Amino acid sequence: MPVTINGTSGLITATNYSGSGANLTGLPAGGKIKQVLSVNKTDTTSTTSTSYVDISGITLNITPETNSDVLIQFCYCFGHTYNEGGAIRIARVKSGTTTYLATADTAGYNGVNDTMVSYAGSSDPTNQIYHQGFHHLDQSVGGDGSTQITYKLQWRISSGTMYLGRDDTGSVSEYAGGNEFTLTEYAA
């Protein structure tokens, strides 16, 4: 492939590409970051629900372009009252239809429909903070550049209480940036 570099202007020209720096043209669109949305939950919340409910404050709305992918990332710290499994899942809501992403398709300890089960088996969960994180690339977003899509996290616990951002007693807390939910849109 012939390449020409203009020593005066810095212009690089190749068979299909030309320009320099941020003005380089002719490159494929795939892989470019289109937008990043993030929420950092610095307060605490809890659930006693044994069926899935939304985690307060862990919801983001995005309007992705056609054929984009969305990388979903979540890191969090939690505590609980018993040595039980707490489960989290990703919910995508588009035009009134909810789809659960990256979920198990066979029953395990905590059943199906979980993105992640955080089983903190401890004989004494008091004063214990557990850190977890996950990511998932949503390659079937179905964006069209004008339809808003909501991503949110939901959680449940087998029994007892699960806390986001603190331990069972509230004596050990992760108030400074311990729970972050991020969406990154990539052009296809």
pLDDT digits (tens, 9 = 90+) for 131-185: 788 889 999 999 999 999 999 999 988 888 888 888 777 776 655 457 899 999 9
pLDDT at residue 176, as a whole number = 43
Give a yes or no: residue 12 inside a domain: no
CATH code at 79? 2.60.120.760
Tokens 């939910």 -> residue: 181
Give a yes or no: residue 165 inside a domain: yes
Give a yes or no: residue 71 inside a domain: yes
Give a yes or no: residue 64 inside a domain: yes
CA distance 188 to 175: 36
Looking at the structure of the chain, the number of domains it has is: 1
Tokens 């806390």 -> residue: 163
pLDDT at residue 111, as a whole number = 55
Give a yes or no: residue 13 inside a domain: no
pLDDT at residue 156, as a whole number = 87
Amino acid at position 98, single letter: T
Give a yes or no: residue 3 inside a domain: no
CA distance 117 to 108: 10
Give a yes or no: residue 41 inside a domain: yes
Return the structure tokens found at 138: 């949503």
What are 4's strand-pairing partners? 13
Q: Which positions of the chain have pLDDT values less than 50?
A: 176
Give a yes or no: residue 155 inside a domain: yes
| Structural domain span for residue 81 | 28-186
pLDDT at residue 91, as a whole number = 93
The radius of gyration of the chain from alpha carbons, rounded to an integer in Å, stands at 22
Give the DSSP letter string of 72-109: EEEEEEEEESSS-EEEEEEEEEETTEEEEES--SS--T
pLDDT at residue 129, as a whole number = 76
Return the structure tokens found at 20: 């320099």
CA distances from 166 to 30, 44, 178 (A): 40, 7, 10
CA distance 56 to 14: 52
CA distance 153 to 92: 9
